[in-house]
Chains A and B, each alone.
Chain A
Amino acid sequence: MIGAGGAGLRAAVAATERGLSVGVVTKSLLGKAHTVMAEGGIAASLGNVDPEDGWQTHFKDTMKSGKFINNWRMAEIFAKEAPDRVYELEQWGALFNRTPEGKISQRPFGAHTYRRLCHVGDRTGLELIRTMQEKVLATDTKVYMETTVTRLFQNDEGRVVGALAYTRETGKFIHFKAKAVVMATGGWGRIFKVTSNSWEGTGDGVMLAYHAGAELVDMEMMQFHPTGMVWPPGVRGLLVTEGVRGEGGLLKNSEGDRYMGNYDEERMELSSRDVVARANYTEVKEGRGSPHGGVYLDITHLGYDKIIQKLPTMHEQFLKLADIDISKEPMEVFPTVHYTMGGIKIDPETAASNVPGLFAAGEVAGGLHGANRLGGNSLSDLLVFGRRAGEGAAEYVKSNGYSTDIPESAVEEEKKRMLDPLQKQGEGENPYHLQQELQEVMMEHANLMRTGDSLKEGLGKVLALKDRLPNMKASGSTLFNPGWHAVQDVNNLVTISEVILRTALERTERRGAQWRLDFDGPDDDLGRVNFIVKEDAQGEVGIEKRDIPPMPEHLRRLFDENQDMSGGEKTGKESQF
């Protein structure tokens, strides 16, 4: 398993239970993965608070929010299995807030028809990762902490048979021999300057897979979370949980207007993330922003006690970092890069990619969320497809016998490539500066409103940066050397940026997270395709427009006739309060 977030750990548990010898490789310490940042909750149609809820509604919400370019089979599996994965967590010691009947409590969330998010205060992700971590520690699974994978090795048939990694602490190389690899490395939010992602979100996994020949899907779809902190500068982009709006938080502009009515009259603040993010963006751009360039998110009417009970982490975060008591003052917020809907294209049943022996789950995998992810769907995604990836890998390993040996020269070559930036003489590029430049480019050209001209200009700049990559240089030794580590990250980030810009140029319409200002609305033809990216023989980005197979009758029936299936914004029942 590469990655020790929710998906990687769930896959490890699944594979271990099937008798495999499993190693988990993670760039950070165990339990620090980005999963801890998930605050709002985990979406599963348990129907504890709204008994009308069921997998069908969850499926519909997911598809509608993804503007129907999601993989419908993934969404179906996901909606059906999510409740079991939540109960499984409880079985392993996770503790959720309770209803008066002693069941798991569920809260409303943006664009979910019913109250559906199982939560524990505003630290659900922490609960999930800690539960999974303790579950894994109780097994024989070997965990390689602070270890970065740099390359997947394939045998002559193209099967993945291992990987090369180095330990961050000592810089020593490890050659992992593995019959199957599950990629669970999360997203690549670090290509943007204002992001809720930690340093880890550098898209290592998606690039490892890409270079191994895997197909990527929906790469143009980057989710902007509508509410990130804006002040002080050090915390810009830091997430303000959607739970604030779930608990009744109101968005207001500098004129004191509750403007969401102008964008989505029905669902107001709890509209889907892409809509709210664009609304916030527009308000600020049209001059109705706060002094620090945000809009106001007001939860003061909830009162101190309720805030402390329901949103303790948020209260603490603002008090400590911004000197703002959210029970007395509104927060200033602005959209922040949050999640990558796109990623490695996988088979819904086994989470296998098109490369034999390579599986993927979690944020690094694409297809489930389509053009926009619903809040709370990522945590259940991790578990549903984490488990399927683990089981898929186990099945694959058991039914295939072959050697995991590869020529020693391949290993040596990769080591040499890795050590190169440290051995460079003379002047070289500072990887931190390259990364900053890249982030500026992406902020300017691939932000939440895009135009063809600007994307082209951005692509030009990224290609220019790409030419400078070989000049990167790191000082010091291999011993815990962040500068050296940054060199690898920047290599990945630049290629991903190129992929994003190129696919964003292809999708000439407005759909979910992809919002082309130079086109008027959704394009029905483009609503029936995904853009698939694959490294071509020359090592360049190859893009293929691929039709989405039609939805089978039993799923199609779930949508009523007047439902706009082209990706419009009509929705079903409003969330109950």
Chain B
Amino acid sequence: MSDRTNITDIAEMAHAPAYNDDAANTGETRTLQIFRGDGEGGSLVPYEIELIEGMVVLDAVLKIQAEQAGDLAVRWNCKAAHCGSCSAEINGKPKLLCKSRVEEYDGQEIKVMPLQAFPVVKDLVSDVSWNYGVSAQIQPFNPGKEQAPFTMYEEDVERLYEPKKCIECFMCQDVCHVLRTHHKHPEFAGPRFFVRTQWLEMHPMDENNRLQFLKEGRGGVQYCNITKCCSEVCPVDIHITDNSIIPLKERVADEYYDPAKWLMRKIRGNRRNGSANGNGGTRASHKRAEIRTNG
């Protein structure tokens, strides 16, 4: 193949920028109030910036950082709402700074604060390392003796895609009153980790049982009173309460609070095997293939 490019023409143009950014300057200005301080305390400091079309709050913060306050601390990575680094609170609600357009706040003040459920490090950065510690305490995926490649059908795993979308922005953890107001960090895992536990528990190949962790261990799922603030703030639309926490609460109820299920287990003599009622417990892949061909 050959480019049909006319070399000399292109060479002329190759150095002109494709589009001139200046056209995007709106000529308007906007004031943002940004928390400046550290764990000891601090205050909201107003910064005035020039508005650019389609600007998100992170753009504004980075502009302030480049032009007015070089040491303004903010965490960010992908700037595309894929990594979940730039979580902070705008006007008291957790938001991804890269996904919040400045124009959404027309007619309102913009006050940017760091996440409050965790210790503030500096400016817009909080210390979220506690979360990784919790994560490490959840029993990892365990397919037992099964070796990949697994035979798994779309219909068995389709509901796992939702919890797997989580980008670990920790905004659900931030907004959860159990952590934020009641500081149950030592005994409560928080919505993010119920989301993770849910896919692990519902995975057709997983053999571990995390119900004890949820009920008696540091999971503390019973502390959740399903008031759904976590679902409201999720930037990737995981229905945390309905699809992760409540299904787990139901599984905990199966195991700990349901006399009929308890009786059935006694009669059958089998402890549950990673899923309630022994219902989904059959994991041998040959069995799966057998049913498949028969049905």
Contact = CB atoms under 8 A, between A and B. Distances in A.
Interface string B120-144: 0111010111001001100011010
A37 B14 contact: no
B80 A289 contact: no
The secondary structure that dominates the B interface is loop
Contact of B154 (A97, A239, A482): A97
A87 B147 CA distance: 9
Interface in B205-222: 206
B9 A517 contact: no
B168 A31 contact: yes
Interface in B62-86: 65-67, 70-85
A234 B141 CA distance: 39
Nearest to A282: B5
Given A231-B54, A264-B1, A321-B99, A123 B82 contact: yes
B148 A230 contact: no
Interface stretch (A296-304, A341-349, A439-447): A439-447
Interface residues of B, number: 81
Nearest to A267: B1
Nearest to B73: A480
Interface in B1-26: 1, 3-5, 7, 9-11, 13-19, 21, 24
B55 interface: yes
Contacts of A293: 18-19
Interface in A134-160: 134-135, 137-138, 143, 145
Contacts of B38: 479
Contacts of A444: 15, 17
A433 B52 CA distance: 19
B286 to A, nearest CB: 13
A323 B52 CA distance: 15
Given A137-B132, A232-B24, A480 B149 contact: no
Contacts of B127: 169
Nearest to A102: B151
A282 B14 CA distance: 9
B259 to A, nearest CB: 34
B82 A102 contact: no
B80 A137 contact: no
Contacts of B203: 93, 95
Nearest to A35: B83
Interface residues of A, number: 99
Interface string A430-451: 1111001000000111010111
Interface string A450-464: 110010000000000
Interface stretch (B158-166, B246-254, B275-283): B158-166
B32 interface: no
Interface in A270-290: 275, 278-279, 282, 284-286, 289
Interface of B: 1, 3-5, 7, 9-11, 13-19, 21, 24, 38, 52-56, 58-59, 65-67, 70-85, 99, 101, 121-123, 125, 127-129, 132, 135-136, 140-141, 143, 147-154, 157, 160-161, 164-168, 199-200, 203, 206, 236, 292
Given A87-B148, A138-B136, A169-B127, 4 more contacts: A28-B75, A265-B1, A430-B70, A483-B65
30 contacts: A30-B132, A32-B77, A34-B78, A90-B148, A91-B143, A93-B141, A101-B151, A121-B161, A123-B82, A130-B164, A134-B135, A169-B122, A169-B127, A230-B19, A232-B52, A232-B55, A233-B55, A234-B52, A265-B1, A275-B1, A282-B3, A286-B13, A289-B18, A432-B66, A476-B71, A480-B122, A482-B74, A486-B70, A517-B11, A518-B11
Interface of A: 28-34, 36-37, 46, 87-88, 90-93, 95, 97-98, 100-104, 120-121, 123, 126-127, 130, 134-135, 137-138, 143, 145, 169, 198-200, 230-235, 238-239, 262-266, 275, 278-279, 282, 284-286, 289, 292-294, 313, 316-317, 320-323, 334, 430-433, 436, 443-445, 447, 449-451, 454, 474-477, 479-484, 486, 517-518, 569
